[in-house]
Amino acid sequence: MSSADTASAKSKDRRQGRPKNAIDIEGVTQRFGSFQALDTVDLVIPDGQFLSVLGPSGCGKSTLMRAVAGLVPPTTGTVRIAGEIVERPHPDVGIVFQKATLLPWRSVVDNIALQLEMRGKAIDGYRGRLKELIELTGLVGFEKALPHQLSGGMQQRVALCRALIHDPQILLMDEPFGALDAMTRETMNLELQRVWLESRKTVMFITHSISEAVFLSDRIVVMSKRPGRVATMIDVDLPRPRDYSMVGDPAFVEATTSIRQCFDAVGMTE
């Protein structure tokens, strides 16, 4: 068996018994007073898919993610996770925001462990997984470091580990690498790809970078400007693992171009 076959068999194995749709967003609107942030968003994310939500700032991406996360209930419509209506944060979800929001007095390991403490789980059962995540995200040697001793990219890696330590099936990421410099961002994208290929979690990834969305995703949802709605969806059919040498390939260029055209068509280019 080739390594690709092994990987695919492994991911199929992991997915057995899971509901077909990880996330179901049905007719979600969001109003803040008289302001309408989201207009009838319908979106289904199948189990194991890496989906990016792409759109200009202010179009309601974070609002949509907060509804999926169970942090802010939508004005109308429903969100389901694994078939259950979301009314509060779901235990099978991990979240990464743009800012790492680490506790400054806690070490790397203790910041990651916070996720377990908040869920009333003892860290002892998770030591192996903790080690694995630290290796996977390149934090070996920094276990005892404090956040101020880490670069922005490393802090975001800690946030990623914190979102993954309880092994959630769904990962919600809201512009997680938006504050990083371009080079670090590419490294983080490669690492995220590695984590995703290993685990085949369902990922809802929010970004306003077209190339980042194409690089990472199986499918991209482009949102229109206020009020936010789904403008178009694009499947990204590039082989994995992807690397940055593929950015100039015709298929990559074609995907970014068609998204750019969609942005232009609805007057979204900022």
Instruction: Tell me which long-range contacts 112-118 makes (C-beta under 8 A, separation of at least 24).
Output: 112/158, 112/161, 112/162, 112/165, 113/165, 114/162, 115/162, 115/163, 115/165, 115/166, 116/165, 116/166
Tell me: does residue 172 bind ligand ADP (CB under 6 A). Answer: no
Q: How many residues does the chain have?
A: 270
Identity of the residue, 33 or 125, whose beta carbon is nearer to ligand ADP in the bound complex = 33
Residue 23 contact among Mg ion, ligand ADP, none, beta carbon within 5 to 8 Å by kind: none
H-assigned helices in 80-151:
108-118, 127-136
Question: Is residue 81 within 8 Å of residue 65, measured between CB atoms?
Answer: no
Torsion angle defined by CA atoms of residues 223, 186, 215 and 10, in that order, rounded to the nearest 10 degrees: -120
63 binding partner (options Mg ion, ligand ADP, none; Cβ < 5 to 8 Å by kind): ligand ADP
- Segment 58 to 77, residues that bind ligand ADP, using CB under 6 A: 58-63
Q: Which is nearer to ligand ADP, 45 or 82 (CB)?
A: 45
The C-alpha atoms of residue 222 and residue 160 are separated, in whole angstroms, by 24
- Minimum distance from residue 158 beta carbon to Mg ion (Å): 21
Q: How far apart are CB 223 and ligand ADP at their closest, in Å?
A: 7
Phi, psi of 42 (to 5 degrees): -120, 125
Spatial distance between the Cα atoms of 209 and 61, rounded to a whole number of angstroms? 13
Q: Which stretch binds ligand ADP (CB under 6 A): 50-58, 155-163, 195-203, 242-250?
A: 50-58
Instruction: Mark 39-68 with x for binding to Mg ion (rule: CB under 5 A) and - for no binding.
Output: ----------------------xx------
Stretch that binds ligand ADP, among 13-21, 57-65, 154-162, 192-200 (CB under 6 A): 57-65
With beta carbons less than 8 A apart as the criterion, state whether 259 and 54 touch.
yes
Minimum CB distance to ligand ADP, residue 86 (Å): 17
| Chain position carrying tokens 């969806």 | 233
84, 126 contact by CB (below 8 A): no
Which partner, Mg ion, ligand ADP, none, binds residue 37 by CB below 5 to 8 Å per kind?
A: ligand ADP
Q: Tell me the window of 56-64, 104-112, 151-159, 184-192 that interacts with ligand ADP (CB under 6 A).
A: 56-64
CB of 169 to ligand ADP, least distance (A): 24
Binder of residue 201, out of Mg ion, ligand ADP, none (CB less than 5 to 8 A by kind): none
Helices (H), 122-181: 127-136, 152-164
Task: Tell me which residues touch Mg ion (CB under 5 A).
Answer: 61-62
Chain residues binding ligand ADP by CB under 6 A are 32, 35, 37, 55, 57-63
